Amino acid sequence: MDGERLSTTAITTAKEVFDLLRDELAAMEREFERLSASEVDSITEIAGYLREGGGKRIRPALLLLAAKSLGHHGASSIRLGAVIEMVHTATLVHDDIIDVADIRRGRPSANTQWGNSKCVLAGDWLYMQAFRVALEERNFRILDLLIGLTQQMVEGELLQMESLGSSLTEHDYYELIYRKTACLFRVSMQLGCVLAGASPAMEKALGDYGRNVGLAFQIVDDVLDLTASEAVLGKPTASDLREGKATLAVVHALEHGTAEERADILAVIDDQGFERVRHERILAILHRNGSIDHAIQVADAHAEAARENLAMLPDSEFKRALLWVPDFVVSRDK
Amino acid sequence: MDGERLSTTAITTAKEVFDLLRDELAAMEREFERLSASEVDSITEIAGYLREGGGKRIRPALLLLAAKSLGHHGASSIRLGAVIEMVHTATLVHDDIIDVADIRRGRPSANTQWGNSKCVLAGDWLYMQAFRVALEERNFRILDLLIGLTQQMVEGELLQMESLGSSLTEHDYYELIYRKTACLFRVSMQLGCVLAGASPAMEKALGDYGRNVGLAFQIVDDVLDLTASEAVLGKPTASDLREGKATLAVVHALEHGTAEERADILAVIDDQGFERVRHERILAILHRNGSIDHAIQVADAHAEAARENLAMLPDSEFKRALLWVPDFVVSRDK
């Protein structure tokens, strides 16, 4: 463990990680652009709009780091990075239709620009294109991972819809965010392992790392949705509560608060808005019950578990970057 | 050709073809039911509703006939028949969202029962499940065909959206219905060929057969939409014109009619309804220009071409059924 702790100090900024992957991420971006062009204009337009909306590209970065930490440096990891980003983009465009979202990443969502119908089809097309490109690798394991993943994600979104407006157990919450978010992080790491020909034990360990980073990522995302300002988020605050979604801090307060506090939270979830109970009241309830702290502690524990999942990985600058990622994920403020 | 003409007389009713495939179609139906069950209840409900809505199962029947006419009788053709029907169902549920359809196969469409959001996700899930089952065959050619197919279909639907409310050339119309319909018929035949290990020449010929049958099928579908009664169709008549879709007979009348007739047709397409010009007026224009007859002649020509595509196939009861299918497709009245 000392060796690991030492190596975590070696990389301390996002810029260092970005420098390490600069060429590959730039190549991934070009692949993503090239692959999301269709002879049907509206697909190219919608895909271009979504691609230019940015995002942290954390998933392809994880795939690249997994592959490189295991000695694979080929072009397949760049193509599969673009595939992962296409799958991620496809889920976002369909989710925005479902959430009737107006805003994504500080800009109007694609559905407000092109309408739901074209966005349903653009999402479908991005899924198919991702599979088509993955299929070119001629590796059944890659396809098993990708198709299993997308099915889990779609099921997660449906489970979330079914739970809207009602309270959840912590267990249900973890199940939901595993499917919605952590599964994609897990598969990104596993794809890097498959490309590098890693052992099943290594694939399991790095897959668990991805799962833990993904869970930490989503828990922090959900806390930020409750506590950060609209200017920082690039979308309205407390949008989860406004949609009737109970997230970890809220689930904690429901389990630990007074009957009155519980009733106030349930009123907001049930109303899908702050008509009867104000946002400030909810934040006060969460703070009084230590619910925000609880959520952050759970995220920290997953970040720590993720670092421990790297124990069997040989030391390298790529491993040091992977050791840094969980810290980045839990300490980000947007 | 005499031998072929003789063999076409051997099968003359849908019941004979159904009897030939009775066990396999029943097994396909059970597979479809088993495979469209999910641990997420709403998926199972929506998929069940769509499956029970019926449909002619003509696509899996073609796949089975292609495989069997080439000597393949294994379980893979049953599973892939279910896969084709799942892909078909996924496109229908997304198309109904896009067309804001209220009625499908004489019943309320799934989106009116479960809402657009769940139907977007149920469609996504059916696509993924179709690919997952196909992936179990561990055959890259099967995946190439299926994923290429779904991408073509999605592009076709988008091209159709882009052309709504405007006139088309005949060429554009054929391109559209190839992607929307004929491509799935073609791939159904090709999958049967892949399972049977057919030569590239045979796969090409039977793929062309599927394409021709599919084109004939869609042309007749579009004529029926213009001419049949609501009771027969199970959906409102002239729904294509009401959605601003120009189909073959309409395209023909636009090219051959008087300036006044052309203006009347364009008014209906532009209005997406019969407010300014009545449905009866459009039918009179189509009849006066022989446009309905033209569409039926084109469908007949594709049916004849389909029969000719079977020339190299060895004679069998399955070939005789394939020779019968084009007649069935062009002579159906709903």
Per cent of chain B over pLDDT 70 is 93
Q: pLDDT at residue B325 above 90?
A: yes
Beta carbons of B69 and B325 less than 8 angstroms apart: no
C-alpha distance from residue B200 to each of B158, B193, B196, B311 (Å): 31, 9, 12, 15
Closest-CA residue to A181 (of A146, A134, A213, A228): A213
pLDDT digits (tens, 9 = 90+) for B38-53: 988 989 999 999 888 7
* pLDDT (mean) for B135-163: 95
Cβ–Cβ below 8 Å for B94 and A120: yes
Beta carbons of A270 and A242 less than 8 angstroms apart: no
Cβ–Cβ below 8 Å for A43 and B121: no
Cβ–Cβ below 8 Å for B161 and A118: yes
Buried b (16+ CB within 10 A) or exposed e, A177-210: bbbbbbbbbbbbbbbbbbbbebeeebbebbbbbb
Cβ–Cβ below 8 Å for A151 and B158: no
Closest-CA residue to B50 (of B13, B97, B3, B14): B97
- Span of A28-32, A310-314, B328-332 with lowest mean pLDDT: B328-332
Cβ–Cβ below 8 Å for B128 and A116: no
Euclidean distance between the first and the last CA atom of chain B, given in angstroms as a whole number: 31
The 3-state DSSP class for residue B154 equals helix
Cβ–Cβ below 8 Å for A124 and B150: yes
Pairwise pLDDT comparison (B105 vs A332), residue with the higher score: A332
Pairwise pLDDT comparison (B278 vs A111), residue with the higher score: B278
Buried b (16+ CB within 10 A) or exposed e, A21-33: beebbebbbebbe
pLDDT score recorded for residue B10: 59
pLDDT digits (tens, 9 = 90+) for A15-42: 888 899 999 999 999 999 999 999 889 8
Q: pLDDT at residue B241 above 70?
A: yes
Nearest CA in chain A to B149: A128
Cβ–Cβ below 8 Å for A151 and B39: no
- Number of Cβ within 10 Å of residue A277's Cβ equals 19
Q: Which residues of chain A does B39 touch, with a Cβ-Cβ cutoff of 8 Å?
A: 155
Cβ–Cβ below 8 Å for B97 and A118: no
pLDDT score recorded for residue B70: 98
Task: Give, to the nearest 10 degrees, the angle between helix A279-288 and helix A200-227.
Answer: 130
Give me the amino acid identity at A62.
Answer: L
* pLDDT (mean) for B212-237: 86
Closest-CA residue to A324 (of A15, A60, A70): A15
CATH class of A13-331: mainly alpha
Euclidean distance between the first and the last CA atom of chain A, given in angstroms as a whole number: 31
Token look-up 């009347």 returns: B264
Distance (Å) from the alpha carbon of B137 to chain A's nearest alpha carbon: 10
Q: pLDDT at residue B6 above 90?
A: no
Residues 6 or more apart in contact with residue A25 via CB below 8 angstroms: A18, A57, A60, A61, A64, A81
Distance (Å) from the alpha carbon of A298 to chain B's nearest alpha carbon: 27
Give me the amino acid identity at B319.
Answer: K
pLDDT score recorded for residue A6: 41
Cβ–Cβ below 8 Å for B124 and A124: yes
pLDDT score recorded for residue B221: 94
Of B38, B116, B135, the CB nearest to A116: B116
Residues 6 or more apart in contact with residue B32 via CB below 8 angstroms: B51, B82, B85, B86
pLDDT score recorded for residue B305: 98
* pLDDT (mean) for B271-290: 93
Token look-up 């790297």 returns: A310
User: Is A265 in CB contact (< 8 Å) with chain B?
Assistant: no
* pLDDT (mean) for B267-295: 94
pLDDT score recorded for residue B4: 42
Q: How far apart are CA A198 and CA B8, in angstroms?
A: 58
pLDDT digits (tens, 9 = 90+) for B51-66: 887 778 999 999 999 9
Q: How far apart are CA B80 and CA B67, in angstroms?
A: 11
Cβ–Cβ below 8 Å for A151 and B128: yes
Q: How far apart are CA A299 and CA A228, in angstroms?
A: 17
pLDDT score recorded for residue A235: 65
Q: pLDDT at residue B318 above 50?
A: yes
Question: How much is the mean pLDDT over chain B?
Answer: 91
Tell me the pLDDT band of A10, cut-offs 50, 70 and 90: low
Name the token pair of A267: 């009123």
Q: pLDDT at residue B1 above 50?
A: no
Of B132, B150, B158, the CB nearest to A42: B158
Per cent of chain A over pLDDT 70 is 94
The 3-state DSSP class for residue B329 equals helix
Could you give phi then psi for residue A309, rounded to 5 degrees?
-65, -15
Task: Give, to the nearest 10 degrees, the angle between helix B279-288 and helix B259-271.
Answer: 140
SS3 labels along B179-222: HHHHHHHHHHHHHHHHHHCCCHHHHHHHHHHHHHHHHHHHHHHH
Report if pTM > 0.90.
yes
Beta carbons of B161 and B173 less than 8 angstroms apart: no
Q: pLDDT at residue A5 above 60?
A: no
Nearest CA in chain A to B98: A117
Tell me the pLDDT band of A233, cut-offs 50, 70 and 90: low
pLDDT digits (tens, 9 = 90+) for B177-215: 999 999 999 999 999 999 999 999 999 999 999 999 999
pLDDT score recorded for residue B3: 39
Name the token pair of B69: 């006419």
- Domain ranges (residues) in chain B: 13-319
pLDDT score recorded for residue B332: 81
Cβ–Cβ below 8 Å for B158 and A40: yes
Q: pLDDT at residue A217 above 70?
A: yes
Q: How far apart are CA A269 and CA A166, in angstroms?
A: 7
Tell me the pLDDT band of B2, cut-offs 50, 70 and 90: very low
Tell me the pLDDT band of A252, cut-offs 50, 70 and 90: very high
Token look-up 């599979």 returns: A131
Q: How far apart are CA A134 and CA A80, in angstroms?
A: 7
Q: How far apart are CA B124 and CA A151, in angstroms?
A: 8
Q: pLDDT at residue B265 above 80?
A: yes
Q: Which residues of chain B does A138 touch, with a Cβ-Cβ cutoff of 8 Å?
A: 140
SS3 labels along chain A: CHHHHHHHCCCCCHHHHHHHHHHHHHHHHHHHHHHCCCCCHHHHHHHHHHHHCCCCCHHHHHHHHHHHHCCCCCCHHHHHHHHHHHHHHHHHHHHHHHCCCCEECCEECHHHHHHHHHHHHHHHHHHHHHHHHHHCCCCHHHHHHHHHHHHHHHHHHHHHHHHCCCCCCHHHHHHHHHHHHHHHHHHHHHHHHHHHCCCHHHHHHHHHHHHHHHHHHHHHHHHHHHHCCHHHHCCCCCHHHHCCCCCHHHHHHHHHCCHHHHHHHHHHHHHCCCCCCCHHHHHHHHHHCCHHHHHHHHHHHHHHHHHHCCCCCCCCHHHHHHHHHHHHHHHCCC
Token look-up 């991805």 returns: A210
Of A40, A116, A159, the CB nearest to B159: A40
User: Is A131 in CB contact (< 8 Å) with chain B?
Assistant: yes
Could you give phi then psi for residue A169, rounded to 5 degrees?
-85, 165
Q: Which of A40-49, A208-217, A227-236, B5-14 has the highest mean pLDDT?
A: A208-217
Q: How far apart are CA B5 and CA B1, in angstroms?
A: 6
Q: pLDDT at residue B235 above 70?
A: no
pLDDT score recorded for residue A167: 83
User: Residue B295 forms beta bridges with which residues?
Assistant: none
pLDDT score recorded for residue B200: 98
Beta carbons of B213 and B302 less than 8 angstroms apart: yes
Distance (Å) from the alpha carbon of A320 to chain B's nearest alpha carbon: 36
Chain A interface, mutation test: which of B92, B98, B146, B147, most A Cβ atoms within 10 Å? B147
pLDDT digits (tens, 9 = 90+) for A119-130: 999 999 999 999
Q: Which of A110-119, A231-240, A282-291, B153-162 has the highest mean pLDDT?
A: A282-291
Task: Please state the CATH superfamily assignment of the domain spanning residues B13-319 in this structure.
Answer: Farnesyl Diphosphate Synthase (1.10.600.10)
Question: For residue B238, what is the DSSP state?
Answer: T
Q: Which secondary-structure segment (H or E) carries B171?
A: helix B170-177
ipTM of the complex: 0.91
Could you give phi then psi for residue B268, rounded to 5 degrees?
-65, -45
pLDDT score recorded for residue A8: 45
Q: Which of A32-46, A47-61, A226-240, B191-205 has the highest mean pLDDT?
A: B191-205
Distance (Å) from the alpha carbon of B159 to chain A's nearest alpha carbon: 7
Token look-up 């290429």 returns: B148
A 143-182 residues with CB < 8 A to B: 143-144, 147-148, 150-151, 154-155, 157-159, 161-162
